[in-house]
Structure 1
Amino acid sequence: MTIYKQALGEDFKRLHIKLQERYELPTGTKFRASGVMREISGGPKWLSPFFALAVKKKFLFPESGQYIPFTIVNHSFIDEEENLKVHWERTFFFGKKKRYFNALMGLNKENLIEDYLGEPALFYSDLICSVEKNRGMKIVSGKQRFMIGKWSLPLPRILQGVVEVFEGYNEDREVFTICVTIRNPLIGRLFFYEGEFREDDD
């Protein structure tokens, strides 16, 4: 059973059928898709040192633009400790330049998604999943920690990047839709993208 199905419980059945198929993701399988981000934008320029570090970690990036091609690969697997994990590889193509927004997700004892952002992880966040009235998926962040190797430092709310994700399915266009916003209580918007994608043919 996928970590997302466990996190949502009976509400998983309320998702649009295409989202159920996407997030079912049996162990050992991959979901591959391609699409276009209608808009990608980042935070203020004075955060460039942070974004420089994030780029090296395949986390966030400073580039912005419109109609940016991207791909996504989700891979479900069992790790060495017999825990179910899902690796996320999101690649954005700014001309010949590639940027990444990668993560490794698992499930904790409270049925919350554990999200390790970056490779190796730079940040950790609890993720709370729910189903919207339009049968889409909503994901919001909870507790967060800054990762230093195997060590972690809890982040107070004032220093967190508060995440809000909406993923849906447009039946008329037969595409998945995605909107991701990361905000900080002091700085405002740190990162944003919004677009659509289709599953790749085998």
Structure 2
Amino acid sequence: MQMSIYKKVLENQFYDLHPMLQRRYEFKRNSIFKATGVMKCVRGGPMWLFPIFWLGKKYKLFFPESGKNIPFEIVNSQIIASDGTEQVHWERVFYFNHKKRFFNARMYLNSEQNLIQDYLGEPAKFYSDLALSITKEGGLRIDSKKQRLVLPFIEIPLPKIFQGLATVTETYMETKAVYYIQVQVKNPIIGTVFSYEGEFKSNDIF
């Protein structure tokens, strides 16, 4: 029986997730998760980072816009590569009036180290190891670890002072029947460089 990359990493802890989060991260063959919602707050870092964020939108990585009550869409799709590698594609879209901004990634399983490999951007510009854990409330927590800059023919390890370490917490709110997510990307010197928080509801495509 096929298991998703997230289920393989979490092993028996997977069943400590809220049932709706289990359903969301099961990813059976050829399954798609699609949801829409609103991010009550989207924030960037200091103004002097604006040129980097402006460039980031070209690669569907980061973007310079910020705001409140931003319409949001997420699509997760499982992909089996030609070499048999299982991947999960993440497309996150933020709608700032007439502007669409993306925060996309492609995730793989590293079975030897029991972690998720996350390639951010299209084409990928940054790489991060991801560690998964379960919160007391049955939510999923994702923490980024080692990071690399991705160039055409080489990946360069980033010193901590240049890293943007992410903490993601996703829960399910039964009272509203929605998924709630908090994402914060921090640099040890700058502080928060990117964050968003809000809720979304599944369109029931599994």
Band of TM-score, shorter chain: over 0.9
The residue type equivalent to 2:100 in the other structure is K
The one-character-per-residue Cα deviations of 1:31-80 (angstroms, maximum 9, x if unpaired) are: 00000000000011111121122100000111100000010000012112
Q: Cα distance, 1:155 vs. partner?
A: 0.4
Aligned to 2:179: 176
Provide the C-alpha distance between the structure 2 equivalents of 1:115 and 1:92, rounded to a whole number of angstroms.
20
CA offsets, 1:144-177, max 9 Å, x none?
Answer: 0001123111001111001100000001011000
Describe the SS at the equivalent of 1:71: strand
TM-score normalised to structure 2 length: 0.96
Q: Distance in 1 between matches of 2:25 and 2:90?
A: 12
| 2:99 paired residue number | 97
The answer to whether the 8 A contact 2:179-2:200 is kept is: yes
Consecutive unaligned residues in structure 2, runs of 5 or more? none
**What's the counterpart of residue 119 of structure 1?**
122
The answer to whether the Cα contact below 8 Å between 2:33 and 2:204 also exists between their aligned partners in 1 is no
Cα deviation, 1:101-137, whole Å, max 9, x if unaligned, reads 0000001121100000000001000000000000000
SS of the residue 1:177 aligns to: strand
Cα 1:29–1:95, aligned 2, differ >3 Å: closer, same or farther?
same
Task: State the Cα distance separating 1:90 from its structure 2 match.
Answer: 0.3
Cα separation, 1, equivalents of 2:152 and 2:119: 12
Letter in 2 for 1:134: E
Aligned with 2:113: secondary structure? coil
Mapped pair 1:137 → 2:140: yes
User: CA–CA distance in 1 between the matches of 2:98 and 2:76?
Assistant: 23
Q: How many percent identity over aligned positions? A: 51
CA RMSD of aligned residues (A): 0.8
The match for 1:194 is 197
Partner residue in 2 for 1:10: 12
1:110–1:83: structure 2 CA closer, same or farther, 3 Å change rule? same
Runs of 4+ in 1 over 2 A off after TM superposition: none
Q: Which residue of 2 aligns with 1:62?
A: 64
Q: Which residue identity lines up with residue 34 of structure 1 in the other structure?
A: T
Which letter does structure 2 place at the counterpart of 1:165?
V
Structure 1 gap segments, 5+ residues each: none
Higher mean alpha-carbon deviation, 68-77 vs 148-157, is at: 148-157
1:201 and 1:126 map into 2 onto residues whose CA distance is 29
